[in-house]
Amino acid sequence: MPELLLELFSEEIPARMQARGAEDLVRLVSEALSPLSPSGCTGFCGPRRIALTGTLAAGVAASQSSERGPRANAPEAALAGFLRKHGAAREALRQEGDFWVLDKVTPGIDAASLIARELPGLLRRFPWPKSMRWGGTSGFTWVRPLRRILCILDGAVVPFDLRDGADDGHGLASGNLTEGHRFLAPGAVAVASAAEWRDGLRERRVIADAAERRDLVGRGLRELATANGLTLVEDAGLLDEVAGLVEWPVPLLGRIDAAYMDLPAEVMQVSMRVNQRYFALRGADGKPAPYFAFAANIAATDGGAAIIAGNERVLRARFADARHFWDLDRAHTLDSRLPGLGAVTFHAKLGSQGQRVRRLVVLAGSLAKLIRADVAQAERAAGLAKADLLTGMVGEFPELQGLMGSYYARHDGEDAAVADAIRDHYAPKGPTDDVPAAPVSIAVALADKLDLLAGFFAIGEKPTGSGDPYALRRAALGVIRIIREHKLRLHLAPLFASAGAPMPQPLDVPDLLAFLAERLRVQLRTEGARHDVLAAVLSLGIDDDFTRLLARSDAVAGMLGTDDGRNLLAAYKRAANILRIEEKKDGPHDGAIDPAALVLPEEIALSAALDGVAQVAGQALAAEDYAGAMAALASLRPLLDAFFEGVTVNDADPDRRRNRLRLLSRIRAAMQLAADFSRIDG
C-alpha cells in the first residue's frame, strides 16, 4: 500500500498544543481519507511541526448503485426534491414497478487526487484552540505562521495549495521540503519517504518523535544529576512541556547562588518551574541542592558554558524577586491581614473571602468536636487559612496557596498544628495527593470542601457534563477520600445543613448527598470495585455515613463473591422475575402467608426459616454487623434451591399460587433489607 507523509511546518507551536494538534491531524486525515482505508497512521509533534505517516489504498474503484425514489405517481415536488438531493437530472431516472429508480455511477479516483481534493479544506478548518493570521490579506489561519506543507505519497509530491477563490492562502503549496534545526542545521532539505524524513531530521539535529524527546530529556537530566551526586526532583508535567520546547535536547547543570538557599524549597522549585522551566535537584541528604537542571536546544561549542552562565544570571534575578516577597510578607503577621479579606470577593453570590473565613471557623470547630481534634486550634487554623491570599508571594505564585500561609504562621509563632492545617487545607488536590493526616488538618480541610460544595450547590452552580469551573467534583472526591482513608464516622447531612445555613439561598441537602454518592460510585468503578453493589445499597436510601455505607457494600460484595452468595443472587432474581410478571396480572402479592395453604415440605421449610432470618438480618444491620446480616441471608440459599426444584409457584390451585407468591414477596423483602439485589450485575 502507498505510504503517505504529511508535515505542517510552522513557527514555534506552544508546547501545550502540540500533542493535541498531532492527534487532531491523525483523526481528521483518517476521516477525510476513509475511502482509502488508511492504516498505521502515526502522529508526530514538536516545537515547529506536526506530522503524520501511514499507508493508504492506491485509490477508490468506480462503483454503481441504485437508489429507489418516490412512487411513480408521487407529486412533482417530491420527485424534484429527490433529484436535487442526489444532484441528478430527470433523464437519469428509470421506472421499476411502482417506483422511480436512480442508477448512480461513482467514478473511481486515485489516492493522490483524493488527498489533493480533501486536504486544503481540512487545513483551513483545523481546530487549533487559538489560531492567528499573519502578513498579507489571506484569511487562512494557523496556530503560528505556517511556512511549509510537505505531502508525499509513495515518494511523489501530492500537488495542492491553500488558495480559496481570491484568497491566496499565503502562497502555501505542497512540496517535498522540510527543515532541520533552526541553528544547528538551517535550511530546507528534500525527502522522499517517512524513513528518510525521520532519519534526515535526526541528521539535522531534530528528534521528530515527542516521546523519544521526552525520554532523552528525562534520561539526560537524571544521568547528569547522578554524575554530580544529585537526584532530580521528578516533575512529569514539566518534562512534557520541556519536550515540546526543544528539538535537540542537551542536558545542562547550573549553580544556585548560596545567598538564596535559605528560601523555602517550594518557592525555589515553583519559581524555577514557572518562570524558567528548570528542574530542582536534591543532595545525597535529600535536602535541596544548590543546583538546577535544564535542557538546552543547542549543542554549544563551549560545552554550554555561556548558556549556563546566562541561565544562572536570569535565575538570580528571579530569586531576588522571590527574596523580596519573602522578606516583605514576613513583616506582617497573617492575623494582621484578616481585615483585608473582607475586600476580596470569593464569589458575587457568596460574598467575600472574609465572610467565607467566618463560615470556615464555625464548620471547622464543629468538625473538630466530631473527630476529637483540638477545637481552638481548628478554629484558629480556619481563621488564618486564607490570609496568605493577600501576600506578595501567593500573588506571584498562586500555586503556593496554603503552603506560604504555613510558613508565615510558623514565623508568627502559631502552633505547629495550626500551621500544618493551613498548609494542608486544600489537600488532596488530585487523586495521587496524600490526604491530611493530623486531626486539626482533617477538620479544616473538610470544612473548606464542605463550604465550597454547599455554597455553589445553594446558588445553583452545579457541575455539568461539559464543565466544572469551581472544581466541585474534586472537592467531593477530597471529602470522600478523607473519610475513607481515615474511616471517619461522620453524618454528612447535618454537616451540609450547617454549611448551607449561612448561604443566600436554601441548600438542597439530599441533592448534594446524591452528588457525593455518585462521585463515590465513580471512584469505586475507577478502582475496579463492585460499584454496582454500592448502587444496590444506595437504592434503599442514601446513608450519609459513608464509612458505614461502604462497610455495608463491602459485606454484600463479599457475600456475592462466595458460591452461596452467587447462587442466592440467582435465586433472588428468579423470585423477583416471577413476582414482576405475576404482579402485573393480579398483584401486589405482599399479604400474610396462610400456613394451612403450605403443603409441600420445601415451601414449609422455607416459610419457617424466613421469619428467623429476617429478624436476625434486621438486628445485625441495625447493629452494623454487616457480615452477620449477610451470613443470615446466605443461609437461605439451600432452602431456596430446594423450593425452586420441588415447588411450582403458579399452581393450578389459586390459593396455593397466591400463598407461594406471597412467600416469594417475603424473600424479596428480606433480601432488600441489605440492598436492592435487582440492581446487581450477574
- In angstroms, the CA 27 to CA 43 distance is 9
Look at residue 196 and tell me if it is in a domain.
yes
Which range is least confidently modeled, 77-86, 298-307, 312-321? 77-86
Look at residue 299 and tell me if it is in a domain.
yes
End residue of a domain, out of 305, 329, 353: 329
pLDDT, residue 496, reads 97
Q: What does the DSSP assignment read for 606-670?
A: HHHHHHHHHHHHHHHHHTT-HHHHHHHHHTTHHHHHHHHHH--SS-SSHHHHHHHHHHHHHHHHH
Burial of 682 (0-12, 13-18, 19+ CB in 10 A): exposed
Question: First-to-last CA distance in the chain?
Answer: 46
Q: What CATH number should be reported for the domain holding residue 448?
A: 1.10.3210
Average pLDDT over residues 471-492: 97
Q: Which domain holds residue 403?
A: 335-528
User: Looking at the DSSP assignment, which residues form a beta bridge with residue 178?
Assistant: 189
pLDDT, residue 135, reads 87
Look at residue 469 and tell me if it is in a domain.
yes
Tens digit of each residue's pLDDT (9 = 90 or more) over 384-398? 999 999 999 999 999
Q: Are residues 189 and 219 in the same domain?
A: no
User: Looking at the DSSP assignment, which residues form a beta bridge with residue 102?
Assistant: 67, 93
Look at residue 419 and tell me if it is in a domain.
yes
> Roughly what angle, to the nearest 10 degrees, separates helices 546-560 and 472-486?
70
Please give, one letter per residue, the 3-state secondary structure of 99-163. Answer: EEEEEEEECCEEHHHHHHHHHHHHHHCCCCCCCECCCCCCCCCECCCEEEEEEEECCEECCCECC
- pTM for the predicted model, two decimal places: 0.83
Tens digit of each residue's pLDDT (9 = 90 or more) over 200-219? 999 999 999 999 999 999 99
pLDDT, residue 66, reads 87
Q: Are residues 275 and 351 in the same domain?
A: no
Tens digit of each residue's pLDDT (9 = 90 or more) over 69-91? 999 888 989 888 998 988 888 88
> Roughly what angle, to the nearest 10 degrees, separates helices 654-671 and 563-586?
130
Q: Are residues 182 and 214 in the same domain?
A: no
Q: Name which of 515, 470, 481, 477 is nearest 496 in CA terms.
A: 515
Q: Are residues 378 and 469 in the same domain?
A: yes
Q: Are residues 325 and 346 in the same domain?
A: no
Cis before 588 (ω within 30): yes
Q: Are residues 396 and 461 in the same domain?
A: yes
Where does 323-462 show beta strands of DSSP type E? 345-347, 351-352
Look at residue 267 and tell me if it is in a domain.
yes
- In angstroms, the CA 127 to CA 113 distance is 24
The identity of residue 98, as a single letter, is D
> Roughly what angle, to the nearest 10 degrees, separates helices 416-424 and 439-458?
40
pLDDT, residue 682, reads 67
Look at residue 364 and tell me if it is in a domain.
yes
Q: What does the DSSP assignment read for 206-233?
A: ----HHHHHHHHHHHHHHHHHHTT-EE-
Please give, one letter per residue, the 3-state secondary structure of 440-473. Answer: HHHHHHHHHHHHHHHHHHHCCCCCECCECCCCHH
Q: Are residues 443 and 588 in the same domain?
A: no
Question: If pLDDT is split at 50, 70 and 90, which confidence band does 297 have?
Answer: very high
Q: Are residues 572 and 445 in the same domain?
A: no
